[in-house]
């Protein structure tokens, strides 16, 4: 009995310590890194760039793949990603500057270099970074914008937190040399942007001695703010998993009522072991530059408007303050919970039944025909007054005023909302509110089912697991393609080849409109699968990166490695 009690206590302590564990710093990188050759290359390149100097530490920031739960993080719904074993490494050294050099440079500088020649080196002055106009980042094209966003985000938070003027002192006297060495495809839905931002934020917090008392989730939230500086209305999945990823575990990431991540073991089948394979369609997606209909921020806006229009149609109290489709659910069902004033602690069963109910409501209350901007404005600004007063009608407001009102009332807090609305008006784009809402509610439902499947399977060792997981993942893809219109021709081609090649599931991952697919492939079919995809897809391209197709398993989140 004593032994059992001691074991239980130890386990509980371990779980709690582990949960709040913020040990980002690991001693001795050679022990931790399997790819010694790459490390040696980084050290060599670093020396070449920065006058023979050696990195003092390295930060590893992984990419991620989303297993299921696409385009629902910004609607308040949980997602199911894992960090992967492709990453961006940052090699870092500090140099004290004083006297003439400091005068000439106006204090310390940040020298940022990339192993990839396509990404030009840049030198940034700390004082200028502190003063820079944050809005400039919204339309910046240089790759360094992600690192700059990390810098200004950290500067803004540290200037609020720090008790002394150590940051000012640091900026006046320190040069920071950073070499970025990434093996993560860009624009491929593997979150190279979040990897770049999270890695930069962590290295900056570390050199400014600000890591203490921050949990990984705190840092993830800061990284989300940074990504918004570059104009993406990110939902937060990427930064959360990049920061909190844990080897061997996928993560169930929830955003409501606050950011939380739970480790989930992915079930394995004894009789039919499988692996996750990622294949790049080689069509790069662009999330921020193109403001057309196939654009991330456009979907964020469609979902917001779908939420408000639905809330109004449901006659919800304070419908105009609804921001996400999740808010609609919570407000609609809140009344049913007498003893609590929120709808967050509900069981899986209840969650599923509420979501199914909402799918019906969307079918009945939202139009399946695309909405014009005018229609939406009419619907939302019409005050439902039978005796519409004549003054209102006479005073016909012009379009620009209506658009401004729409942005102010319903799109508050979103970056570049005005630009997107202007584009919608200019090109008479139509918004598919019903389809977007149907995708979101059905995908949220699939995520809950997927998690349940993982948990049940671990208990029962039911061998249908591959079939069940595959079914949910395939349905997720079809919903992304049909209701959310975020697939692409090349992605569809690749997906078909993967399915023909023996994958039991295959879906786009990340924002879509290009980028990668994630497939489930049974181990005994893996070799044939790879040959098939090589022959029927990649052989059609003149040049294919070495790692266009790779197997992956859940990896660790951001880590700092002290160089030996
Ligand atoms: P990618 O494709 O990695 O940029 C984007 C968003 C996610 C999520 C997915 C769609 C950012 C940084 N990332 O991922 O938050 O919404 O699309 O599920 O905004
Ligand atoms: Mg991204």
Ligand lying nearest the CA atom of residue 236: 1
- Bond into 502 cis (ω within 30): no
pLDDT for residue 27: 59
Shortest-distance Cα residue to atom 19 of ligand 1: 234
Cα dihedral: 299, 239, 189, 294 (round 10): 10
Ligand 1 pocket test: pick from 287, 288, 289, 443 the residue with the most ligand atoms within 8 Å of its Cβ.
287
Task: Single out the residue of 219, 276, 218, 270 nearest to residue 82, CA to CA.
Answer: 276
Ligand lying nearest the CA atom of residue 190: 1
Strands (E), 313-364: none
Residues labelled catalytic: 238
Instruction: Report which ligand 1 atom has the smallest distance to the Cα of 237.
Output: 15
Alpha-carbon span 81 to 251, nearest angstrom: 6
**Helix or strand or coil: residue 528?**
helix
Distance of CA 443 from the midpoint of ligand 1 (Å): 15
Distance of CA 282 from the midpoint of ligand 1 (Å): 18
Query: What pLDDT tens digit does each residue of the chain (564 aa) get?
Result: 776 766 666 555 444 434 434 457 765 555 555 678 898 999 999 999 999 899 999 999 999 999 999 999 999 999 999 999 999 999 999 999 999 988 999 999 999 999 999 999 999 999 999 999 999 998 888 999 999 999 999 999 888 877 778 899 999 999 999 999 999 988 898 999 999 999 999 999 999 999 988 999 999 999 999 999 998 899 999 999 999 999 999 999 999 999 999 999 999 888 889 999 999 999 988 766 667 788 899 999 999 999 999 999 999 999 999 999 999 999 999 855 555 556 778 899 999 999 999 999 999 999 999 999 999 999 999 865 544 455 555 455 689 999 999 999 999 999 999 999 999 999 999 999 999 999 999 999 999 999 999 998 876 666 688 999 999 999 999 999 999 999 999 999 999 999 999 999 999 999 999 999 999 999 999 999 999 999 999 999 999 998 999 999 999 999 998 876
Provide the ipTM.
0.96
Instruction: Report which ligand 1 atom has the smallest distance to the Cα of 69.
Output: 18
What is the full DSSP assignment across 93-120?
EEEE--HHHHHHHTS-EEEEEESSTTS-
pLDDT for residue 223: 97
Determine how β-strand 25-27 pairs with β-strand 122-125: unpaired
Instruction: Report which ligand 1 atom has the smallest distance to the Cα of 236.
Output: 15
Output the ligand 1 site: residues, CB below 6 A: 66, 70-71, 73-74, 189, 191, 193-194, 227, 232, 234-235, 237-238, 287, 510-511
Reading phi first (left if > 0) and then psi (alpha if -120 to 50, else beta), residue 556 is in beta
Instruction: Report which ligand 1 atom has the smallest distance to the Cα of 234.
Output: 19
Ligand lying nearest the CA atom of residue 415: 1
This prediction has a pTM of 0.91
Q: Which residues contact 524 (CB under 8 A, 6 or more apart)?
A: 272
Ligand 1 pocket test: pick from 237, 476, 483 the residue with the most ligand atoms within 8 Å of its Cβ.
237
Using CB atoms within 10 A of its CB, is residue 127 exposed (0-12), middle (13-18) or buried (19+)? middle
Alpha-carbon span 85 to 87, nearest angstrom: 6
Ligand lying nearest the CA atom of residue 70: 1
Separation in Å, CA 258 to CA 27, 222, 254: 32, 14, 7
Ligand 1 pocket test: pick from 481, 511, 516 the residue with the most ligand atoms within 8 Å of its Cβ.
511
Half-sphere exposure of 454 (CA within 13 A, CB side): 18
pLDDT for residue 461: 64
pLDDT for residue 12: 52
Shortest-distance Cα residue to atom 17 of ligand 1: 511
pLDDT for residue 218: 95
Strands (E), 163-280: 174-182, 249-254, 260-265, 274-280
pLDDT for residue 562: 84
Alpha-carbon span 272 to 375, nearest angstrom: 52
Q: Which residues contact 29 (CB under 8 A, 6 or more apart)?
A: 39, 57, 58, 561, 562, 563, 564
For every residue of 366-383, which 3-state class applies, written as one string?
CCCCCECHHHHHHHHHCC
CB 314 within 8 A of CB 429: no
Shortest-distance Cα residue to atom 8 of ligand 1: 71
Distance of CA 478 from the midpoint of ligand 1 (Å): 18
CA 546, 529, 492, 444 torsion-angle sign = negative
Shortest-distance Cα residue to atom 13 of ligand 1: 234
Distance of CA 528 from the midpoint of ligand 2 (Å): 32
Distance of CA 441 from the midpoint of ligand 1 (Å): 18
- DSSP for residue 321: G
pLDDT for residue 285: 82
Task: Single out the residue of 515, 529, 531 nearest to residue 282, CA to CA.
Answer: 515
pLDDT for residue 20: 36
């Amino acid at each position: 009995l004593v032994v059992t009690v001691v074991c239980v206590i130890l386990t509980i302590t371990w779980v709690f310590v582990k949960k709040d564990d913020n040990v980002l710093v690991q001693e001795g990188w050679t022990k931790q890194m399997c790819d010694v050759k790459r490390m040696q290359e980084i050290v060599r390149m670093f020396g070449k760039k920065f006058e023979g100097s050696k990195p003092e530490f390295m930060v590893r920031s992984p990419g991620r793949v989303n297993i299921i739960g696409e385009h629902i993080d910004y609607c308040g719904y949980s997602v199911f990603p894992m960090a992967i074993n492709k990453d961006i490494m940052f090699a870092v050294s500090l140099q004290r500057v004083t006297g003439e050099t400091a005068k000439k440079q106006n204090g310390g500088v940040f020298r940022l270099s990339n192993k990839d020649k396509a990404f030009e080196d840049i030198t940034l002055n700390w004082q200028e970074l502190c003063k820079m106009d944050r809005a400039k980042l919204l339309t910046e094209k240089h790759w360094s914008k992600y690192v700059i966003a990390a810098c200004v985000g950290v500067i803004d938070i540290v200037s609020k937190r720090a008790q002394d003027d150590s940051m000012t002192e640091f900026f006046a006297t320190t040069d920071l040399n950073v070499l970025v060495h990434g093996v993560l495809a860009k624009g491929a839905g593997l979150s190279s942007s979040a990897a770049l931002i999270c890695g930069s934020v962590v290295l900056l917090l570390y050199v400014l001695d600000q890591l203490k008392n921050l949990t990984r989730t705190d840092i993830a939230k800061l990284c989300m703010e940074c990504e918004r500086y570059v104009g993406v209305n990110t939902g937060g999945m990427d930064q959360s998993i990049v920061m909190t990823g844990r080897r061997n575990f996928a993560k169930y990431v929830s955003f409501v009522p606050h950011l939380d991540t739970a480790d989930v073991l992915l079930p394995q089948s004894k009789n039919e072991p499988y692996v996750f394979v990622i294949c790049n369609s080689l069509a790069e997606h662009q999330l921020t530059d193109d403001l057309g209909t196939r654009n991330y921020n456009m979907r964020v806006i469609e979902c917001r408007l779908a939420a408000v229009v639905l809330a109004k149609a449901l006659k919800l109290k304070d419908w105009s303050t609804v921001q996400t489709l999740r808010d609609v659910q919570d407000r609609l069902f809140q009344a049913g919970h007498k003893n609590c004033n929120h709808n967050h602690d509900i069981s899986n069963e209840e969650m599923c039944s509420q979501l199914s109910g909402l799918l019906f409501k969307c079918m009945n209350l939202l139009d399946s025909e695309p909405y014009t901007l005018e229609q939406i404005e009419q619907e939302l600004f019409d005050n439902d007054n039978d005796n519409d007063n004549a003054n209102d009608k006479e005073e016909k407001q012009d379009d620009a005023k209506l658009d401004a009102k729409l942005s102010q009332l319903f799109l508050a807090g979103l970056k570049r909302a005005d630009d997107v609305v202007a584009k919608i008006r200019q090109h008479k784009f139509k918004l598919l509110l019903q389809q977007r809402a149907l995708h979101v509610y059905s995908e949220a439902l699939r995520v809950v089912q997927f998690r349940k499947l993982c948990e049940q399977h671990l208990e029962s060792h039911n061998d249908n697991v591959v079939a069940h997981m595959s079914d949910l993942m395939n349905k997720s893809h079809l919903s992304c393609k049909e209701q959310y219109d975020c697939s692409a021709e090349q992605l569809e081609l690749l997906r078909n080849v993967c399915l023909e090649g023996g994958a039991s599931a295959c879906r786009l991952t990340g924002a879509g409109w290009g980028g990668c697919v994630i497939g489930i492939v049974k181990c005994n079919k893996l070799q044939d699968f790879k040959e098939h995809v090589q022959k029927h897809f990649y052989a059609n391209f003149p040049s294919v990166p070495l790692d266009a197709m790779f197997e992956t398993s859940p990896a660790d989140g951001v880590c700092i490695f002290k160089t030996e």
